[in-house]
Amino acid sequence: MPDLSRRSGRAELQLPVELRSSDGAFAGVTQNVGVGGMFVATEQPRRVGERLALTFTLPGEANPISVQSEVRWIRDNASPESPKRVAGMGLRFVGLPILATVWIEEVVRRHEQALRER
């Protein structure tokens, strides 16, 4: 089984994502996505372990993906060593539907193919 936590197997994408917690809804922007989860840039990161509902739409797809997620790690604002890093959180998908898995795998495959062709 592939290691879903590796950087490969992810597509660098900036997509709007709606996040919902027990506190209400807020917005973020994905920085990358894979079948295991995504990094979401947001100034409102949640606690590690917190569950969030996500809704986002992949390029080329008409239907949005709605899935539960768990915050696995958070990143504060940029540091002097890494000024381009943005604040946000790494999210792990929980119960990703099969069709959404197929869509994400296809986006990742196209992304990796485009990188090889450069």
In this predicted structure, the answer to whether residue 1 has a pLDDT above a threshold of 70 is no
Give me the domains of the chain, ranges plus CATH numbers.
Answer: 10-116 (2.40.10.220)
pTM for this model (two decimals): 0.86
Q: Which of 58, 64, 45 is nearest to 107 (CA)?
A: 58
User: Is the pLDDT confidence value at 55 over 90?
Assistant: yes
* Whole-number Å distance between alpha carbons of 36 and 101: 9
Task: Answer yes or no: is pLDDT of 2 > 80.
Answer: no
Q: Are residues 15 and 38 in contact, defined by beta-carbon separation less than 8 angstroms? A: no
Written as one string, the DSSP assignment of 38-77 is EEEE-SS---TT-EEEEEE--TT-SSPEEEEEEEEEEE-S
